[in-house]
Each structure stands twice: as structure tokens, then as C-alpha cells.
């Protein structure tokens, strides 16, 4: 951490004052506290300083960087040494994340060619936060309610504007895995390992195998976009990596005679190709969008080592190479009385893989601003998850998330809200139905 601070200080010193004169500094301070209703336990405690540096160095060059400095988590003091540590990490955990840092060159080599080099977020897709075609940056699922959040990737992006067409090419040399949800929400995306009857889990260890940082393990993507008859269309292709790991090996070791076993798993990241298509436009005054992606996964087998039980090593199919399609359709509308309505239907959630495993989700939200925009009430917001339409009563989950936002002064907002979850444990949200929560967030932008 000290090295990072030293690096920052050096950076501030070496950047010439002439550049500082053109630099825009902005950001926000966020306090985010969440508590589970069932056990009244605080599970989220975040104080974030977001710093964004933005500078137009000339007509054709621009730099941007975003840094998060966060006090995140709770005291984790185990020994007196933890209390005496100079870094205070155990008393007040904190971290620093460089979200983005890139250089834009406009009209690079050709007048209609723009390139962006560096750590960057490349957001593809027309849907709202849930984008099947948005596969360039790894997911940042740390906050499960922030579906659209991704990490930045070190990349080169080139955009060429050819008449009405926009052609985009992206090259990402090095793989970065997705960040998974915190422990309290992990179960939503990773169901418990199913053990044979009579076995119980004792210890669980896992090992992650990431692709080597070599030239061959790159990601590349291409997109072409154009407006036809008032509708915006784009078509994309990606040759990259699935940023969520898949189990490739499970080993079971007996601990005692009661059936308790130690489990050792190996997870790996696999290649995938994705063809994407999206559109956005309006039907009358209603906003409409649709987005779909066909995934071509790499065939992945899973070995289960049961040799300790005399059954040897068994092999099964973890993920077939059969293509599968995820898609979203959505609409939004603002009524004259100020109510804004947004609805989306999603087939295939972020973590779902394989044609048979894709579920259906209906997400909706209605909000209204009052008191000359000082108050925003999101009274109807949430979703409905259906795992199996033929047996809905055992395969559904309902999510309700009302929220009130108060803007006391310019740049400040106070948000109070909650999530109520009901459903069956076969579903994503049903598995975390005990996690009903309320939260308070305060944010000030500068």
C-alpha cells in the first residue's frame, strides 16, 4: 500500500504544471451501509472516494483516469498485533482500485479514426444494465445489486467512422477474471455442490487456474454499427474468455466413517466466442431495445476423483460446446405526470451457461420525481424470476426493491431503500431469500 501511495505522490510531482492547468478533477464521496433484516447484521460498510482526472491535452488528445480509495469492510482484529499494526488494515480495512486510466487519440493516422489505449471500460449493448453482448470487460460482481458494473481492461480500442457506419475493433492482450459476489451473496450465483447421498461436506478447498499471460491468450472483438430507418443496429463478434470459472475437477477425501468428506475443486477459465446483435429505437413515443448474443463455449469436461472410495476417476460433461443464446428486450416510457417506467425481459442471467440452464427474468421499475426534483420515489421496482414455466409454483422468485432518494442540495443525494426477496431455493434469488435488507447511501459529487 505504501508503494502505491509513493507512486501517486511521484505522479503528482512529475506531471508538469502546464498539464495541471488543463486538468479537470472531479469525483464523489459515497457512504454505503447495508444491514440484513433477519439477523440485523451489518454486512456492507463502504466509504468511497472516487477521483476522476480528465484532461484535454489538445484538440486530438485526451486523458482520463478514475481511482477509488475505499474504506471497505469491518474490523478484522484477531490478535493484539493487529491492533498495533501501522497500516491499520485490520482495524479499518481499506483498498485502492484504479478503475480506468487511458489515453484518447482523435483522428489518429486517419481523420476518422479514434483510438483509446489503456485501462478502460468498453460498454456494449443497448439494454439497461443487463447486456448479453457486453463481454469485453470482466464482471465486477462484488455488489450483486450493481449488475452493470465491470472492471476496466487494459486494451486498445479503435473506432473508425466511415460515413454512417461505425466500425470498432478491440484488442485485450491479457485475461482478467471477474470479481465474484461477497460471501453473503455468493450462493446466488454458485449453488452448493451436490454430494452423493450419505455424504456431508467437511472442508472445501478450491484452486483457480487462470490463462497464462502469453500472446496467444488475447481477447479480440469487432463491432459494426449503423442506423437503419430510424433504428440503431449493431452487430458484434468476440473471441475471448468466459470471465467466470467453471469446475473442471472435484476430489473427495473421506474424513471419518460418518460420511464427512473433504472436497478439493479445481476451477478454470474457458475460451468462448460470441456473436451479438442489438437495436434501439422507438415505437411511437415508447423507447424500445433488444439485444441478443449467441455463445459458442469451449467443451469442458469435469473429472470427479472418487478413488478414495474405490470408484476411480469419473468423467462428466461440465459444459457442452453446443451454442446457446441469451437475450433481452425492453421498453421505457415517461408519462406526462412525470412517472418513468422501465421494463425488461431477460433470458439468461449473467452466470448462466448452457442452453438448458438459462432462466427467465422480468425486471421493472417505476419512479417519479417530486418537489421540483428534490425527491425521487422508486415505489415499484424489482423482478420476477422463473426457472421453469411448466412448474412455476416451485421455480420462481420475486424481488421487490423500493427506494427513496432525497436531494437536499445540488450534488448531494441521500438514498434509503431495501430489498425483499421471496422464492424457491431452485432459483438465483430464492437461494438468498434470507438476505432481505435495508440500506442507506449518501453521495456528494464535486
Partner 1 sequence: MKRIILLMTMLILTAFVSGQTKEPSALEILKKSDAVINAPKDQDIKMKLVLIEGNGDEKERELRMLQKGGEKRIIKFLSPADQRGIAFLDLPNDMMYLYLPAFKKVRRIAGHIKNQKFAGTDMTYDDMGTLNYAAEYDPKFIEKSEKVFVLELTPKNGLQKDYSKLVMWIRADNFYQIKIEYYDKSGKLVKRMERKKIEKVGNYWIAKEFEIYDLLDDHRTRALLSDVKFDTGLKDKIFTQRYLKR
Binding site for partner 1 (CB under 8 A): 26, 28, 54, 62, 104, 106, 114, 121-123, 126, 148, 159, 161, 166, 227, 230, 232, 280-282, 284-289, 332-336, 338, 372-373, 410-411, 413, 445-446
Give the DSSP per-residue string, 358-378.
--EEEEEEEEEEETTTTEEEE
CA-nearest of 428, 351, 427 to 393 is 427
Q: How far is the CB of 134 from partner 1 (least distance, A)?
A: 10
Cβ distance to partner 1 smaller for residue 244 or 280: 280
The least distance separating partner 1 from the CB of residue 62, rounded to whole angstroms, comes to 7
Instruction: Report helix, strand or coil for 307.
Output: helix
CB of 338 to partner 1, least distance (A): 7
Q: Is the distance from CB of 158 to CB of 221 less than 8 angstroms? A: no
Q: Which helix (H) or strand (E) holds 166?
A: strand 165-172
Say how far apart CA 129 and CA 119 lie, in whole Å: 21
- Integer CA distances (angstroms), 55 to 65, 91, 329, in order: 9, 37, 37
Cβ contact 446:39 at 8 Å: no
Closer residue to partner 1 in complex, CB, 106/296: 106
* Contact (CB, 8 A) for 124 and 340: no
Measured from the CB atom, is 133 or 265 closer to partner 1?
A: 133
Which residues is 362 bridged to in the sheet?
A: 345, 384
Q: Which is nearer to partner 1, 77 or 123 (CB)?
A: 123
Residue 149 CB, shortest distance to partner 1, in Å, is: 10
CB of 129 to partner 1, least distance (A): 9
- Measured from the CB atom, the residue of 39 and 410 that comes closer to partner 1 is 410
Judging by DSSP bridges, how do beta strands 271-283 and 231-241 pair with one another?
antiparallel
Question: Which residues, 6 or more positions from 338, have their beta carbon under 8 angstroms from its beta carbon?
Answer: 368, 369, 370
Q: How far is the CB of 28 from partner 1 (least distance, A)?
A: 7
CB of 136 to partner 1, least distance (A): 11
6 or 446: whose CB is closer to partner 1? 446
- Taking the complex as a whole, how short is the minimal distance between the CB of residue 174 and partner 1, in angstroms? 20
**Which is nearer to partner 1, 340 or 400 (by Cβ)?**
340
| Shortest distance, position 102 Cβ to partner 1, whole Å | 11
Strand partners, 249: 266, 303
Helix (H, G, I), strand (E, B) or coil at 439: strand
Which run of H or E residues covers position 14? helix 2-14
Kindly state the smallest distance separating residue 285's Cβ from partner 1, in Å: 4
For partner 1, give the closer residue by CB, 203 or 445.
445
* Residue/partner pairs of 2-6 with CB below 8 Å, 24 or more apart: 4/96
Q: Cβ closer to partner 1: 137 or 395? A: 137
- Nearer to partner 1 by Cβ, of 345 and 396: the residue is 345
Q: In Å, how far are 55, 104, 196, 251, 340 from 108, measured between CA atoms?
A: 18, 9, 60, 53, 41
**Is 429 exposed, middle or buried (CB count within 10 Å of its CB: 0-12, 13-18, 19+)?**
buried
Q: Cell 430507418, residue?
A: 229
Smaller CB separation from partner 1, 13 or 109: 109
Three-state SS for 225? strand
Q: Which residues in 210-351 belong to E strands, given as ranges?
A: 219-228, 231-241, 246-254, 260-268, 271-283, 286-297, 300-305, 313-319, 324-334, 339-347
Q: How far is the CB of 235 from partner 1 (least distance, A)?
A: 16
| Rounded Cα–Cα distance for residues 385 and 364 (Å) | 12
Q: What are phi and psi of 119, to 5 degrees?
A: -75, 125
Amino acid at each position: 500500500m505504501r508503494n502505491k501511495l509513493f507512486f501517486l505522490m511521484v505522479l503528482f510531482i512529475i506531471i508538469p504544471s502546464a498539464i495541471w492547468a488543463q486538468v479537470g478533477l472531479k469525483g464523489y464521496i459515497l457512504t454505503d451501509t447495508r444491514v440484513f433484516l433477519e439477523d440485523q447484521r451489518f454486512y456492507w460498510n463502504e466509504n468511497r472516494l472516487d477521483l476522476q482526472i480528465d484532461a484535454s491535452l489538445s484538440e486530438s488528445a485526451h486523458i482520463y483516469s478514475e481511482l477509488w480509495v475505499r474504506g471497505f469492510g469491518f474490523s478484522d482484529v484477531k490478535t493484539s498485533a493487529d491492533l498495533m499494526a501501522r497500516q491499520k488494515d485490520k482495524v479499518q480495512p481499506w483498498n485502492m482500485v484504479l478503475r480506468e486510466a487511458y489515453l484518447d487519440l482523435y483522428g489518429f493516422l486517419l481523420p476518422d479514426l479514434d483510438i483509446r489505449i489503456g485501462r478502460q471500460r468498453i460498454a456494449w449493448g443497448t439494454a439497461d444494465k443487463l447486456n448479453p453482448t457486453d463481454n469485453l470487460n470482466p464482471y465486477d460482481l462484488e455488489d450483486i445489486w450493481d449488475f452493470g458494473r465491470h472492471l476496466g481492461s487494459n486494451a486498445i480500442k479503435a473506432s473508425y467512422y466511415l460515413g454512417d457506419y461505425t466500425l470498432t475493433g478491440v484488442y485485450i492482450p491479457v485475461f482478467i477474471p471477474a470479481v465474484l459476489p461477497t460471501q453473503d451473496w455468493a450462493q446466488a450465483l454458485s449453488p452448493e455442490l451436490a454430494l452423493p447421498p450419505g455424504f456431508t461436506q467437511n472442508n472445501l478447498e478450491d484452486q483457480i487456474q487462470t490463462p497464462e499471460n502469453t500472446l496467444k491468450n488475447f481477447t479480440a472483438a469487432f463491432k459494426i454499427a449503423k442506423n437503419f430507418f430510424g433504428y440503431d443496429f449493431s452487430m458484434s463478434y468476440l473471441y475471448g474468455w468466459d470471465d467466470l470459472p467453471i469446475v473442471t475437477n472435484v476430489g473427495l477425501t473421506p474424513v471419518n466413517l460418518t460420511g464427512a468428506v473433504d472436497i478439493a475443486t479445481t476451477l478454470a477459465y474457458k475460451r468462448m466466442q460470441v456473436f451479438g446483435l442489438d437495436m434501439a429505437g422507438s415505437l411511437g413515443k415508447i423507447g424500445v431495445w433488444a439485444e441478443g448474443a449467441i455463445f459458442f463455449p469451449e467443451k469442458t469436461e469435469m473429472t470427479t476423483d472418487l478413488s478414495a472410495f474405490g470408484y476411480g476417476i469419473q468423467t462428466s460433461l461440465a459444459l457442452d460446446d453446443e451454442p446457446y443464446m441469451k437475450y433481452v428486450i425492453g421498453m421505457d416510457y415517461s408519462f406526462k405526470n412525470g412517472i418513468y417506467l422501465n421494463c425488461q425481459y431477460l433470458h439468461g442471467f449473467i452466470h448462466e451457461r448452457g442452453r438448458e440452464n438459462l432462466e427467465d427474468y422480468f425486471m421493472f421499475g417505476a419512479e417519479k420525481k417530486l418537489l421540483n426534483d428534490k425527491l425521487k420515489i422508486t415505489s415499484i421496482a424489482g423482478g420476477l424470476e422463473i426457472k421453469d414455466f411448466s412448474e412455476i409454483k416451485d421455480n420462481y422468485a420475486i424481488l421487490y426493491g423500493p427506494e427513496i432518494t432525497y436531494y437536499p442540495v445540488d450534488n448531494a443525494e441521500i438514498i434509503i431503500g431495501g430489498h425483499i426477496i421471496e422464492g424457491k431455493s431452485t432459483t438465483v434469488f430464492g437461494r438468498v431469500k434470507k438476505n432481505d435488507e435495508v440500506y442507506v447511501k449518501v453521495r456528494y459529487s464535486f
